Amino acid sequence: MAESLPPTRPRIPGSGLAKGLAVTLRTMTKKTVTAQYPDAQPDLPPRTRGVIGLFEENCTVCMLCARECPDWCIYIDSHKETVPPAAPGGRERSRNVLDRFAIDFSLCMYCGICIEVCPFDALFWSPEFEYAETDIRDLTHERDKLREWMWTVPAPPALDPAAEEPKEVAAARKTAEKLAAQQEAAAPQPAQPTEPAEPAGTEPHAAEQARAAERPTRPMGESKQQTDLPQQQTDLPPQEGQE
């Protein structure tokens, strides 16, 4: 076998042994890689799959997450409530009210399918990981705990500078522009700049709802009126970036 190798230099017997010794000695002089965890918190990447947070204001109890969960570790209870008609003489609407949302983290395998399938952006990954319990039954966390974890969800990363405008932002901007045109057309009437989004599509509406609820996690200065969205859209975290 030695003949097949290219003839570099004659092998000194024991050179391999010496090389091994050199490796360990060199490693000893280098900095260690040990993370002193309880003393120093780990520097986790923002997309870390630590725990699943529930943004329950967004949840419509559609049960998609519970049904898609491979481990059947999501428990959802709800009841139906009747909402009185918005206008007199209108039809009553019914909506689902969430009673219980629990995830059994002793079963959860952190696949993230529930977060993928949630159509209303009610589930998020949080990098929080220190929720070990001494009893396995305590690992079933209820909606209040899941809601708390929502505060630890980091803001989604900014888009690339040249990226396409997020869909909901585009929709909101279109609406705002249309409204502005209407107001220009009806110039004598007093403008209503603070209530422009009502007739917009459902998508910007949901996004705005989420943003409004998430506001405490961000500096107050960053919270924005919808009217100035178009101007500062690059600052805005797009909801699609959550995954």
Partner 1 sequence: MNDVLDVALRLLIVFGVFLTFPLIIGQTEHKVMAHMQGRLGPMYAGGFHGWAQLVADGVKFAQKEDVVPAGADRRIFQLAPAVALLPYLLVLLAIPIGPGEGAVGVLIDAGIFFVLAVMGVGVLGSLMAGWASANKFSLLGGLRTAAQLLAYELPMLLAAASVAMAAGTVSLPGILNAFEWWWLPWQIVGAIVFFVAGLAELQRPPFDMPVADSEIIFGAYTEYTGLRFALFLLAEYAGIVVLCGLTTVLFLGGWHGPWGADGLGWVWTLLKTAVLAFIVIWLRVTYPRLREDQLQKLSWTLLVPLSLAQIALTGIVKVVIQ
Contact flag: residue 17 with partner 1 (CB under 8 A): yes
**202-214 helix and 167-185 helix, angle to the nearest 10 degrees:** 110
Residues in 30-59 at the binding interface with partner 1, rule: CB under 8 A: 30, 32-34, 36
Cβ-in-10-Å burial (0-12, 13-18, 19+) of 55 comes to buried
How many CA atoms within 13 Å lie on the side-chain side of 60? Answer: 9
Amino acid identity of residue 120, one-letter, is: F
Cβ proximity to partner 1: between 33 and 187 the closer is 33
Per CB under 8 A, which region of 20-28, 43-51, 183-191, 200-208 contacts partner 1?
20-28
3-state secondary structure of 203: helix
The least distance separating partner 1 from the CB of residue 19, rounded to whole angstroms, comes to 10
Cβ proximity to partner 1: between 13 and 188 the closer is 13
Per CB under 8 A, which region of 17-25, 84-92, 191-199, 224-232 contacts partner 1?
17-25
Contact flag: residue 132 with partner 1 (CB under 8 A): no
3-state secondary structure of 172: helix
In the list 11, 23, 155, 218, the residue contacting partner 1 (rule: CB under 8 A) is 23
